[in-house]
Amino acid sequence: MSLQLLGGMSPQQFLDEYWQKKPLLIRQAVTDFPELIDLTRLIELAVRDDVESRLIECRDGRWHMEHGPFRPTRFNRLPASDWTVLVQNVNQHVDHVSELLYRFNFLPYTRLDDLMISYAPPGGSVGPHYDSYDVFLLQVGGRKRWQISSDDAGNFVEDAPIRVLKDFQSEQEWVLEHGDMLYLPPKYAHHGVALDPGMTYSIGFRAPKTQEVASRFLEFLGDNLQLDGMLSDPGRAATATPARIDADFVGSIQAMLQQISWDDATVQRFIGEYFTEPKSHVVYEAPDDALDFDDFAEAVAEHGIALDLKSQMLFDAEHIYINGELLECAAEAMSVLQQLANARALPPGDYDDTVLDTLYECYDYGYLHVAG
């Protein structure tokens, strides 16, 4: 990772001094864009049904929001100012945007979420608000004025379709130009207003709520638990109050529930599957004209492979996880698959059949592709 991304700081210095502690403005953090995503390209994504998108307008002091997919003609009816179109997970559809997201791999992939792109003409904004997660706001083209505040206690505007703070008092203010980036910790209030037509690349980090993690873990247990026994009461006495839930029955059910338990291995597998699970709109496309195994092995030897932009891959000491699944693989293949998970690609080479068997299975599902 280039030190330029963090303003000359090492990743560890940034984590020690700023991460989840205080904002950081980095001038000219990114200057090597191979191409820029213009509004036309963003609209091409916003009309797709496998892409999450929103359109936010402020008309006569009131906020309005629409969810995509949009008709292309919707954007012909927009005024010259005061609107923003936002497209989530652009990293799943554009190679160089994915490469930019993974420059932040000094943090684990369990925390790295997505790169959202928003486009706004002059006056475009989504209002003063705060996020519950860390975010890097990278300006791409044009200029945007950002105001921030450490006070997140203001009330939200009632009946607004988006969370806009009613009482926002700016503590600091900057104008970001092309290539400038602002880091904000969770719950740091901020308000951005476009001064020129331009985009903000928002690099967001995953921070699920405790309730969500607990609920999903209980679902995971329900899918994987196998408990013995059934309700029985051979010593049951006759009752004159059949509608009463008696103490013995409560004790019997409690004894059943006390069989529910988990260990570190259970939690580890849950993490692997939960943190690689794709969002509901994500679709993987199997190759139209799939190579047979031998041709695939030759192609890997010559070109290497790369994970699909939509694929998420993690590992622990004994397991590999991809796209919400535990990946069955030989122990001999683990080190190479870990390399793939970290780098999201493998260089050309003659790999052992134990590796190729697993790679070919993933290739067949559309989880990875021959590079080049």
The answer to whether residues 324 and 188 belong to one domain is: no
53-59/62-67 β-pairing: antiparallel
The CATH number for 356's domain is 3.40.366.30
The answer to whether residues 17 and 133 belong to one domain is: yes
Please report the pLDDT score of residue 301 as a whole number: 98
Say if 286 falls within a structural domain: no
Work out how many domains the chain is built from and give that number: 2
Say if 225 falls within a structural domain: no
Burial degree of 258 (CB within 10 A; 0-12, 13-18, 19+): exposed
The answer to whether residues 192 and 305 belong to one domain is: no
d(CA 52, CA 90): 9
Phi-psi region of 60 (alpha: psi -120 to 50; beta: other; left: phi over 0): left
Q: List CB contacts of 25: < 8 A, sequence separation 6 or more.
A: 174, 176, 180, 181, 182, 183
For CA atoms 235, 239, 242, 245, the dihedral sign is negative
In the block, tokens 């029955």 appear at 249
The answer to whether residues 165 and 21 belong to one domain is: yes
Per-residue pLDDT of the chain (372 residues; tens, 9 = 90+): 667 999 999 999 999 999 999 999 999 999 999 888 889 999 999 999 999 999 999 988 899 999 999 999 999 999 999 999 999 999 999 999 999 999 999 999 999 999 999 999 999 999 999 999 999 999 999 999 999 999 866 688 888 899 899 889 999 999 999 999 999 999 999 999 999 999 999 999 999 999 999 999 999 999 999 999 999 999 889 999 999 999 999 999 999 999 999 999 999 999 999 999 999 889 999 999 999 999 999 999 999 999 999 999 999 999 999 999 999 999 999 999 999 999 999 999 999 999 999 999 999 999 999 997
The answer to whether residues 184 and 308 belong to one domain is: no
The answer to whether residues 51 and 169 belong to one domain is: yes
The answer to whether residues 53 and 164 belong to one domain is: yes
Q: Which of 205, 220, 239 is the last residue of a domain?
A: 205
User: Beta-carbon neighbour count of residue 193 at 10 Å?
Assistant: 19
Q: Which of 163, 189, 205 is the last residue of a domain?
A: 205
| Type and span of the H or E element at 303 | helix 293-303
320-322/313-315 β-pairing: antiparallel
Say if 173 falls within a structural domain: yes
Say if 273 falls within a structural domain: no
Please report the pLDDT score of residue 151 as a whole number: 80
Please report the pLDDT score of residue 235 as a whole number: 87
User: Beta-carbon neighbour count of residue 80 at 10 Å?
Assistant: 9
User: Beta-carbon neighbour count of residue 268 at 10 Å?
Assistant: 15
Q: Which of 185, 194, 190, 192 is nearest to 148 (CA)?
A: 190
The answer to whether residues 17 and 119 belong to one domain is: yes
* Main-chain dihedrals φ then ψ at residue 96, nearest 5 degrees: -70, -25
Say if 334 falls within a structural domain: yes
The answer to whether residues 163 and 311 belong to one domain is: no
Q: Do the beta carbons of residue 123 and residue 82 sit within 8 Å?
A: yes
Say if 88 falls within a structural domain: yes
Please report the pLDDT score of residue 154 as a whole number: 66
89: its two tokens: 């997970």
**66-73 contacts: CB < 8 A, separation 24 or more?**
70/43, 70/46, 71/47, 72/43, 72/47
Please report the pLDDT score of residue 1 as a whole number: 60
User: Residue 25 belongs to what domain range?
Assistant: 3-205
The answer to whether residues 28 and 159 belong to one domain is: yes
For CA atoms 337, 341, 343, 345, the dihedral sign is positive
d(CA 331, CA 337): 10
Q: Which of 205, 220, 238 is the last residue of a domain?
A: 205
Please report the pLDDT score of residue 18 as a whole number: 98
> First-to-last CA distance in the chain?
23
Q: Residue 104 has what DSSP assignment?
A: G
305: its two tokens: 């492979």
Please report the pLDDT score of residue 3 as a whole number: 79
Most distant CA atoms of the chain, gap in Å: 81
Say if 212 falls within a structural domain: no
The answer to whether residues 80 and 183 belong to one domain is: yes
The answer to whether residues 37 and 166 belong to one domain is: yes
Please report the pLDDT score of residue 273 as a whole number: 98
**SS3 at position 341:** helix
Q: Which of 27, 36, 39, 205 is nearest to 111 (CA)?
A: 205
Say if 233 falls within a structural domain: no
* Main-chain dihedrals φ then ψ at residue 247, nearest 5 degrees: -65, -35
d(CA 68, CA 52): 7
